[in-house]
Amino acid sequence: MPSKRILKRDVNNVMGDIIDAAYLHQAANPQEDPAKSEAIVDEAIATFDGLIEKINKRDVQDKKQHFKEVNKEFETKAEALVEKVNAL
């Protein structure tokens, strides 16, 4: 189980990389509709906000289990976003 600080850093780095990849695709392919990459960026930002809110939640009974669940959710959402970026 990662610590709270490491989990926050990982979420920040991965979501930032996904956003960068979407913007790079948009810059490399100016003829394509930018709405698709903008939707991925918006989804990544919303995912980031939701995950950070869950990480910062204080009234948790079992912290270890809570962080495992947040980490699992983070991995599945990040994989889904990466697949969307790859499909562009």
Instruction: Record the pTM.
Output: 0.87
**Domain spans, the chain:** 4-87
pLDDT tens digits for range 12-22 = 999 999 999 99
Whole-angstrom distance, CA of residue 80 vs CA of residue 86: 10
Q: Please report, for residues 41, 45, 87, the alpha-carbon distance to residue 79 in angstroms, rounded to integers and kept in the order given.
A: 14, 15, 12
- Return the ∠ at Cα 60 (arms to 59 and 62), rounded to 5°: 155
Q: How many CB atoms lie within 10 A of CB 82?
A: 15
pLDDT tens digits for range 60-79 = 888 888 889 999 999 999 99
Residue among 25, 58, 51, 50 nearest 40 (CA): 25
